[in-house]
Amino acid sequence: MMTGGIWENAVRYFTQHFDGRGEDLLLSNPGTCDFLGTVTARSLEGLAGRIASCRKCGLAKSRNRAVPGAGNPRAGLMLVGEAPGQEEDLRGEPFVGAAGRLLEKMIGSVGFTREEVYITNILKCRPPMNRDPHPDEIASCLPVLERQIALIRPALILALGRIAGQTLLRTGLSVEAMRGKVHESGGRTLMVTYHPAALLRSPDKKRPAWEDLKMLRKQYDLRVGDKTPWNPPKQA
Ligand code: URA
């Protein structure tokens, strides 16, 4: 059984499976994930097509539908969850079940709508029985998320829960240690808060989550303000 953070386990996986070259490659290219081939789709639609037909890991066999992500392609704020659940797997859309309904309320409480942000997950396919993602699945799927971030260029990323925080920050820290601050990492600005499913299980976490959301709003206003659209298309 593997111990440690999800990112450390992903590094270990590659170290074991790629003759010791994995760690070097992974750590020297944290933003590009070239070790599995950079994903080069030029648009979110193109990327969604590739995700729909992806067979890089075993989850392709058990999924009903891949769940690329949804929302505003020019969003200033991107939300990253863990992996699709049962309803998401059936509908092909992220956060449409109970956790999604709470997520909408959470972001709504600080003035964001689902339509103005972009929502995606670390994994684009549902792990059977909603088990934790395996390190090899994360490593296979990460280039896709990297490409989504590169295409959308959000001012701020909010990681929802331990797996998303650990993966995006390349760390083994707990949610408690990652939340409540602004992380500048690999040229990105990132915050971490509790996953809405964790708030459904443990309502005592709602207060600290609310503090995180207020901080998120402040950071968003500082960085994006009234710049609309936040993310104009690049000149050809
Ligand atoms: N939980 C997640 O992390 N993502 C979803 O899309 C749904 C539930």
What is the tens place of the pLDDT at every residue in 28-84? 333 333 344 578 899 999 999 999 999 999 999 999 999 999 999 999 999 999 999
pLDDT of residue 16: 47
Q: Which atom of ligand 1 is nearest to the CA of 67?
A: 6
Question: Is 68 touching ligand 1 by the criterion CB < 6 Å?
Answer: no
CA angle 58, 63, 68 (to 5 degrees): 100
Ligand 1 atom closest to 163 (CA): 3
Task: Decide: residue 235, CB within 10 A, 0-12 exposed, 13-18 middle, 19+ buried.
Answer: exposed
Per-residue model confidence (pLDDT) at position 26: 34
Token digits of residue 159: 């990681």
Q: Ligand 1: does its nearest atom lie under 6 Å from the Cβ of 193?
A: no
Buried b (16+ CB within 10 A) or exposed e, 172-197: beebeebbeeebeeeebebbbbbbbb
Contact predicate 84/91, CB 8 Å? no
Confidence (pLDDT) at 151: 95
Which residue reads 């299980």 in tokens? 201
Q: 193 alpha carbon to ligand 1 midpoint, in Å?
A: 14
Q: Is 88 in the pocket of ligand 1 (CB under 6 A)?
A: yes
Between the CA of 120 and the centroid of ligand 1 the distance, in Å, is: 8
Is any ligand 1 atom within 6 A of the Cβ of residue 85?
A: yes
83 in contact with ligand 1, CB cutoff 6 A: yes
Q: Which amino acid residue places its CA nearest to atom 7 of ligand 1? A: 95
Helices of type H across the chain:
6-17, 21-28, 44-52, 59-62, 86-91, 98-108, 135-152, 162-169, 175-178, 196-201, 206-223
Distance 83 CA to ligand 1 centre (A): 5
Share of the chain above pLDDT 70, in %: 83
81 lines ligand 1 (CB under 6 A): yes
Collect the ranges in the chain with pLDDT lower than 50. Answer: 1, 14-36
Cis check for the bond before 154: say yes or no (omega within 30 of 0): no
Q: Positive or negative, the Cα torsion across 164, 167, 170, 173? A: positive
- Taking the CA of residue 161 as reference, the ligand 1 atom at the shortest distance is 3
The strand order across the sheet containing 118-121 reads 70-71, 118-121, 77-81, 156-160, 188-193, 183-185
How many Å lie between the centroid of ligand 1 and the Cα of residue 196? 9
CATH architecture of 6-223: 3-Layer(aba) Sandwich (3.40)
pLDDT of residue 108: 97
Domain boundaries, the chain: 6-223
